[in-house]
Amino acid sequence: MKKDLLSLLDLEKTDFEDLFDRALQLKKRYAQGIHDRVLTGKSLGLIFDKKSTRTRIAFETAMIQLGGHPIYMSTQDTQISRNEPAEDTARVLSRYIDCLAMRTFDHALVETFAAASSIPVINALTDWFHPCQILSDIMTIIEHKGGYRNVKIAWVGDGNNVANSWVNAASVLGLTLTVACPEDHMVTQQIIKASGADAMDHIRFTTDPKEAVKHADVVYTDVWASMGEEDELQNRLAAFDGFQVNRDLLTRAAPDVLVMHCLPAHRGEEISEQVLEAPGAAFWDQAENKRHMHKAILETLILRKKSDE
């Protein structure tokens, strides 16, 4: 794997496979009471500019359970908020910690940190991408569907950071993915072209959610206004009319369709209460699997750094 995980385009197909295998193995071993303390003495820094429940706590618990230490830094409490250059902060943190997970707005900022750091930098969500989310989500698909090959995946909603990461994953892994977004909220051409998805028959884009979910094995949605876009919600509610994942829409999907959502969810907007509260829903497995996948990512990036030295 490369030094950093900023986008799923940073990964080869074999990197994905290795992470799925290791995360599933770590999950099984943890359930058996086996604690793999492979990161004893290591530290993970977390710089979060946006709110988080799952990603932050999954990274912190993953690090603790692997024997290491997480150090959470809110931007407000560091010199970053007093305009210390990102390059300087990155070089200094590289002298203290073994890995840095960052959640911020501008994707270019995590790229700047990664370029200036000698330690691995992990994107814990930017305006453009949420790579760790999709890694744990495909792990959840593997558990529920026995694999990801021949699984028809439909994205219904905003062409946002999570959708972009699905497009990246589909292009590297050859996933069958249909992305349905309102015209003004479609995944951008820049993202589509960068992933090569424009030249791939197995990745399609539509403005019709009904068409996208037809015979789908997985239907995935996310909020209509992401963090930083809250002021746009009222206008977006009209634009996303017909895009709610509810029982009516799902009648077109495969009978055993797996509905997924990265959470937090807005009941009655992108997803109905009934679908969110359906017995056996996978949302909570998705949330749990973030911890196991984060372990696999941390172990891979931090220990590879050691073996390179």
Residues in binding contact with ligand NVA, number by CB under 6 A: 9
The footprint of ligand NVA on residues 87-146 (CB under 6 A) is 125
Q: Which segment (85-93, 156-164, 234-242, 248-256) binds ligand NVA by CB under 6 A?
A: 156-164
Q: Rule CB under 6 A: is residue 191 a binding residue for ligand NVA?
A: no
With tokens 């996303």, the residue in question is 240
Q: Rule CB under 6 A: is residue 162 a binding residue for ligand NVA?
A: yes
Collapsing DSSP to helix, strand or coil, 34 comes out as coil
Q: Rule CB under 6 A: is residue 187 a binding residue for ligand NVA?
A: no
Collapsing DSSP to helix, strand or coil, 173 comes out as helix
Our CB check for ligand NVA shows the closer of 217 and 270 to be 270
Q: Choosing among ligand NVA, ligand CP, none, which partner's interface includes residue 300 (Cβ < 5 to 8 Å by kind)?
A: none
Binding flags for ligand CP, 263-282, as an x/- string (CB under 6 A): x-------------------
Residue 203, Ramachandran bin (φ over 0: left; ψ between -120 and 50: alpha; else beta): beta
Q: Rule CB under 6 A: is residue 262 a binding residue for ligand NVA?
A: yes
Planar angle of CA 2, 21, 37, nearest 5 degrees: 80
Nearest approach, Cβ of 110 to ligand NVA (angstroms)?
14
Q: Rule CB under 6 A: is residue 52 a binding residue for ligand CP?
A: yes
Q: Which segment (49-57, 86-94, 179-187, 272-280) binds ligand CP by CB under 6 A?
A: 49-57
Our CB check for ligand NVA shows the closer of 26 and 125 to be 125
Q: Per DSSP, what are the bridge partners of residue 121?
A: 100
From the number of C-beta atoms within 10 Å of its C-beta (0-12, 13-18, 19+), residue 18 rates as middle
Q: Rule CB under 6 A: is residue 292 a binding residue for ligand CP?
A: no
Task: Please answer whether residues 164 and 132 qualify as being in contact, where contact means their C-beta atoms are separated by less than 8 angstroms.
Answer: no
Q: Rule CB under 6 A: is residue 262 a binding residue for ligand CP?
A: yes
Closest alpha carbon to 21 in 309, 299, 307: 299
Compute the 3-state secondary structure of the chain and give helix, strand, coil in percent, each to the nearest 5: 50, 15, 35
Nearest approach, Cβ of 46 to ligand CP (angstroms)?
11
Q: How many CB atoms lie within 10 A of CB 118?
A: 12
> What order of strands is seen across the sheet that includes strand 121-123?
69-74, 43-48, 99-103, 121-123
Contacting residues toward ligand CP, per CB under 6 A: 52-56, 125, 133, 262-263
Chain positions contacting ligand NVA, by CB under 6 A:
125, 160-162, 222-223, 226-227, 262
